[in-house]
Amino acid sequence: MDASSGNRKAILLVLVVFVLGIALGGVGIYLVTARVQAARAQASAHTPANTMAMFTRDLNLTPEQQTQIQAIISDTRAHYAELHDKFDPEYERVRHEGRERIRQVLTAEQRPKFEDLLRQIDEDRRRRQAGQGH
């Protein structure tokens, strides 16, 4: 009887360890997957639509400002694409020019927030470029 009780305890212990292994493995997979998905979301955070939504929300843009800035962003992106195809050093000049045009549309209260957003965007761009080996 004593040996039988010992066998049951051993089997129960093996089962508990097995179930805990499955549970910990599942938690680990969940954490890794969540981290990868968060990294992908951050990498695609600065699409034109997301950038405009962020500007509208964080800068509290008026509808008129939204229209003007959307036109500036579209125009600037067209220039980017044109210069990117040529690997032209003028790329930075066009970026600076587009940002200056946006600054002209913003109020004095919106400009510091815009500068903070630009720092964040530039930081993200540098991180992405460093990750790609550029």
Highest mean pLDDT among 12-16, 32-36, 43-47, 77-81: 12-16
- The domain ranges of the chain are 1-43, 46-132
Q: What is the full DSSP assignment across 48-70?
A: HHHHHHHHHHHHT--HHHHHHHH
What average pLDDT does the chain have?
Answer: 82
Q: What torsion do the CA atoms of 94, 97, 99, 105 make, to the nearest 10 degrees?
A: -140
Q: Convert the pLDDT of each residue in 105-125 to its tens digit.
A: 999 999 999 999 999 988 887
- Cα separation, 105 vs 114, in Å, equals 11
Q: Is the pLDDT of residue 39 over 70?
A: no
pTM value? 0.44
